[in-house]
Structure 1
Amino acid sequence: MFSTMTLSEIMDETCLRYGDREALVFPKRQETFTFLQIMEESKALAKGLLTLGVKKGDHLAILALNSPEWVILELAAARIGAVLVCINTASTKSELSYVLKQSESSLLFLMEGFKGVSFLDNLTQLIPELLSCERGKLRSEEFPDLRTVVTLDDSKLKGAYNIRELKSFGAAVGSTLLTEAGKKLTAEDPLNIFYTSGTTGNPKGVVLSHFANVNNALVSGERMEYDEDDRILLCLPLFHVIGFVLSTFAGLLYGASIVIAERFETKKALSLIEEESCTVFNGVPSMFQFMLNSDLDEYNLSSLSKGFIAGACCSNELMYRIMGDLGIETIANLYGQTEAIGITQIASFDDRIHRIHSIGRPLPGVEIKVIDIATGEEAALGEKGELLVKSAYIMKGYYRNQEATDSALDTEGWLHTGDLVSVNEEGFIHIEGRIKDIIIRGGENISPAEIENVLKHHDGVFDAAVIAVPDELLGEEICAFIIPTKGYLFNAEEIREFAAKHLAKFKVPKYIKTVKEFPVTSSGKVKKAVLREQVKNEFMPVSHRETVIMKL
């Protein structure tokens, strides 16, 4: 059932099968790479890495927007058993420092930066030795593992190589050396470390094997029915599994072309769908919302036929609009976590009602269990509880963090997701919220996701996020942050009355606040910890409060 090939082995087989068909398309530079070209480019780069002394198990970090070089570097590292450490481009200087140290990376690949954020400036402020050292001979007391820096673009840095130079170094390396390096690998060896984008605390490095990446891409791609006629617009970041595994390699392994956007920009994405005749768009809910709020009449989106939505809960209304306005009738809800990649997914043959209301059924190789959050016993069919996952694609652990690994995986190998779900008699799973987000008001457990889904059905609500705030009498009260629909004259009481028609009285938000946008992680999840921080000083212990409206 499962493939035991490494990523480079299965990609070589794929590249030979699809030959001169387009594999990677990069409109920004008007570049196209065929399957055969990415195979040869990755071999050349792998040889270059060998000249620098890179060996099996070495950690190579990358800090960059999406590009063909990103994908080719991953394939090159995979050929020789190096582990690619994927760094979030939203990382602050201190976060970059933490990841480089914690991951024990010996090489760093990076681009200059984007949108006024200079990755190079942040790096040289952390490691000023790069301004004067010889290339490949970095010595830093603060970063003792890091020896080499390579730029992916034309940016200049005295102590860094350029990726074109690195490929040229490999010209003198024979194929035998590369082949011998590959023979030392198995599918169980680590391929990547993805750092989770948690809302609090330091990120944790999730170690995923070749086996997990390859096989999860295969089963997800099969359920999406990717084929060689598909052109997948990649706007999701490659430093996340939804962009790397479930979009890029899930597509490539079935012969699809990947049209690469450096990052998501609404108008650019819509233009690329039209110009490149993209058949697939995968995204997080906010991406779809931004697209749907554009003037769609300006674009020909008739080529679109497939896509998944992941990263955060999606309202039924948004699903209907994606189907109707964007024309993606077979839109697939996809649920996953970095620790297990794709977990559940809608299939092309699932009917509309399940497509809209559920996150599908477990992917092949995934076993699930729902437990009562109070007793820890398995919940009855249809009852809410925490989702536990046992999967063939589970992480090897958090890098250098056994305590966190033991906390996430129990002694029987179940991953505790922290998500509240229910399962119907047909096996379809419904997200009910996050356990840690559960509001306990006067002894009642309340799911913020339930309230958010109701609020999003109001014509005046573009998006909603619900949090708990302290209350002297009830312990916690409900506070709803709302982004109003453009042109809507906001009326908090009207919103509350609408909520009261669809929710029990104790679930109606007491506090309603309007905001222009939500703070979100790079995977599209609302940073509720940030929302709580923004209002923490407002909610002092008092005996009674009236509904408050505040614009942030």
Structure 2
Amino acid sequence: MNTVAAGPTVPELVEAAAERYGDRPFLRVGRTARTYAETREAAAAMAGALAAQGCRPGDRVAALLGNRVELVDLFLGCAWLGAVAVPLNTALRGRSLEHALREARPRFLYAEPEPAGRAVEAGYPGTVWVAGETATPHPGEATGPPPHPGGATPLPPSPVRPQDTAAVLFTSGTTGPARGVRCPQAQFVWWGRTVSDALRLTSDDVLFTCLPLFHTNALNTLAQAMTVGACVVVGERFSASRFWRQAADAGATTVHLLGAMVPMLLAGPPGPDDRAHRVWRGLSPATPGPLWEPFRERFGVTLVDGFGSTETNLVIGSTPERHRPGYMGTVRPGFDARVVDGDLGPVPDGTPGELLVRSHRPFAFATGYLGDPEPAPDSWRRTGDRVVREPDGWFRFVDRIKDVIRRRGENISSYEVEAAVRTHPAVVTAAAFPVASELAEDEVMIAVVLRPGCEPDPADLARHCARELPAFAVPRYIETVAELPLTETGKVRKAVLRERGVTPGTWDRDRASGVRAAGSTGRESWRAAGP
């Protein structure tokens, strides 16, 4: 695999890729298509446009932009100038938007019209640039139209260092308030190197992502492509019904997914688009093991799993030729991982514990959260994930530590409950979470999304779970929902489910007659709708 010999900063990566790959296609987003050489020119010109608007190295520039070329330009232009891009979740509003803006303290905000108005309502006091317009929606300090590389005077790259912050990316906030992560220049370069190596990318590849560019998964496809000279196509928001047609139109050989998207794609009816594409591999962290082989059989795509986060890098992963369904993979070169107990002492292989990770690559990890001191570059980082390391070095995800359910003195993995529920033929996806028990611990509740044409039969699902799970993990409460509350990156907002809890429409196993005797050997099916 030929890769560019770039130093560990984004401008060096852009320049090295342009020198090596020149007129090769690099980016397609919306109606814009650019070569590598044109991308370098756009980054330098965007830096000039930002500087002309008063932006200086170290300034933070927030964005409330969808998957459009302006966000790519802003990220690369800020990195080139030495400013800091702060891509924000476009769904933020009210207090959550106030929180993000207060934490990030950006000097400038570049937004589409509607979220720009939301930011003003949230009290943002700085300069607002509105995409596609020349005016600001409030009497701020705007000096002109939004910065744009077209016609701007290009600047030489600023002398940024690998440890300098290139972007602040906010966590999903599924278990608490979202936190701004300081992502250094080198972290993006290492993301490009580690993921392109794990996926075995080459200059002949076309990467397709419809994940939001404010998330590290999608943003780092730019670095992955630059590392090997591939092309990246940025699509609009994920749609299970249109996904394979969009991938085919992109000419994609590689797709970027999240594990939650896999059951959604499998739930759709088979059709001619299932194999009418060139995709043969997909990066899909947290894919449920039982879905791995059905996905490959139906779509012809080999899934690659792994562990990485906004704060870290691809520390653990598999490859297209070396994988194990249901496992994250093994430790990648340049990183360490260990599993520890509550006192941070090591636990034996095969024992669940918290995952700690460490990097030997310079500034491949984030330099901390906004407002926190920088950790030592080679220090162990806590992940908050409960995992198991097998004796042969393969790691298996168990649960987020905060999502573990405590019932009858046992720790129950919500992830494993969800995996069992999803094996029922009528279930598209599910979320398991704790609700209050009369015994001062937790009860297990699941919210279930059914396949089209199926009617709820919670007693049947309870019997199914009794065959797949230990008795203490079988859900007591089952509720059918049209959809799960998700973040923009496809993670289930379990805090919403926990807060809602048991409703009048929730089925209670303890109150249903005959369910305690579940465990029949036949494979019942959820009732199909109709006569």
TM-score normalised by length of structure 2: 0.88
The answer to whether 1:76 aligns with 2:77 is yes
Rounded Cα–Cα distance in structure 2 between residues aligned with 1:47 and 1:390:
37
CA contact (8 A) 1:252 1:258 kept: no
Aligned to 1:49: 50
1:296-327 deviations in whole A, cap 9, x for unaligned?
423253311111112xx322232222211111
Rounded Cα–Cα distance in structure 2 between residues aligned with 1:282 and 1:412:
29
Aligned to 1:194: 169
CA contact (8 A) 1:241 1:341 kept: no
How far off is 1:417 after superposition?
Answer: 1.2
Among 14, 23, 28, the residue aligned to 2:26? 23
How far off is 1:154 after superposition?
Answer: 4.6
Aligned-partner residue type, residue 182 of structure 1: S
1:105-156 deviations in whole A, cap 9, x for unaligned?
11111123xxxxx213213434xxxxxxxxxxxxxxx545x2x322333575
CA RMSD of aligned residues (A): 2.7
Aligned to 1:435: 401
Among 310, 313, 319, the residue aligned to 1:341? 313
How far off is 1:24 after superposition?
Answer: 0.8
Aligned-partner residue type, residue 158 of structure 2: G
Corresponding residue SS for 2:158: helix
- How do 1:97-116 and structure 2 match up within 5 A? 97-112=98-113
CA contact (8 A) 2:252 2:277 kept: no
Aligned-partner residue type, residue 422 of structure 1: V
Rounded Cα–Cα distance in structure 1 between residues aligned with 2:137 and 2:490:
37
Aligned-partner residue type, residue 379 of structure 1: V
Aligned to 2:347: 379
The answer to whether 1:208 aligns with 2:180 is no
Corresponding residue SS for 1:217: helix
Among 155, 165, 170, the residue aligned to 2:152? 170
Rounded Cα–Cα distance in structure 1 between residues aligned with 2:436 and 2:148:
56
Relative distance call for 1:294 and 1:248 in structure 2 (3 A) is farther
Aligned to 2:299: 326
CA contact (8 A) 2:120 2:137 kept: no
Aligned to 1:248: 222
Relative distance call for 1:32 and 1:504 in structure 2 (3 A) is same
Relative distance call for 1:442 and 1:165 in structure 2 (3 A) is closer
Aligned-partner residue type, residue 301 of structure 2: I
- How do 1:364-443 and structure 2 match up within 5 A? 364-373=333-342, 375-391=343-359, 392=361, 393-402=364-373, 413-443=379-409
Runs (5+) with no aligned partner, structure 1: 113-117, 127-141
Corresponding residue SS for 2:295: helix
Q: Which moved more, 1:157-166 or 1:278-287?
A: 157-166
Aligned-partner residue type, residue 49 of structure 2: G
Corresponding residue SS for 2:271: helix
Corresponding residue SS for 1:350: coil
CA contact (8 A) 1:270 1:291 kept: no
TM-score normalised by length of structure 1: 0.84
- How do 1:143-162 and structure 2 match up within 5 A? 143=124, 146=126, 148-154=127-133, 157=136
Relative distance call for 1:155 and 1:467 in structure 2 (3 A) is farther
Aligned-partner residue type, residue 367 of structure 2: K
Q: Which moved more, 1:378-387 or 1:149-158?
A: 149-158
Corresponding residue SS for 1:517: coil
The answer to whether 1:502 aligns with 2:468 is yes
Aligned to 2:206: 231
CA contact (8 A) 2:403 2:414 kept: yes
How far off is 1:479 after superposition?
Answer: 1.2
Aligned-partner residue type, residue 273 of structure 1: A
Aligned-partner residue type, residue 14 of structure 2: M
CA contact (8 A) 2:174 2:495 kept: yes
CA contact (8 A) 1:251 1:257 kept: yes
Rounded Cα–Cα distance in structure 2 between residues aligned with 1:442 and 1:411:
41
The answer to whether 1:511 aligns with 2:477 is yes
Rounded Cα–Cα distance in structure 2 between residues aligned with 1:252 and 1:261:
18
Rounded Cα–Cα distance in structure 1 between residues aligned with 2:121 and 2:466:
54
CA contact (8 A) 2:267 2:428 kept: no
CA contact (8 A) 1:152 1:162 kept: no
Aligned to 1:182: 158
CA contact (8 A) 2:384 2:402 kept: yes
Identity of paired residues, percent?
27
The answer to whether 1:315 aligns with 2:305 is no
Rounded Cα–Cα distance in structure 1 between residues aligned with 2:255 and 2:146:
31
How far off is 1:359 after superposition?
Answer: 0.6
Corresponding residue SS for 2:260: helix
Aligned to 1:133: none
Relative distance call for 1:389 and 1:491 in structure 2 (3 A) is same
Rounded Cα–Cα distance in structure 1 between residues aligned with 2:470 and 2:174:
30
Q: Which moved more, 1:478-487 or 1:73-82?
A: 478-487
CA contact (8 A) 2:6 2:12 kept: no
Relative distance call for 1:267 and 1:439 in structure 2 (3 A) is closer
Corresponding residue SS for 2:328: coil
1:351-389 deviations in whole A, cap 9, x for unaligned?
4xx1x121111222221110123x532110111111111
Among 350, 373, 376, the residue aligned to 2:322? 350
Aligned-partner residue type, residue 283 of structure 2: F
Aligned to 1:522: 488
1:313-355 deviations in whole A, cap 9, x for unaligned?
32223222221111112x101222211133321112304xx1x
Count the aligned residue pairs.
502
The answer to whether 1:283 aligns with 2:257 is yes
How far off is 1:395 after superposition?
Answer: 1.5
CA contact (8 A) 2:350 2:390 kept: yes
Aligned to 1:269: 243
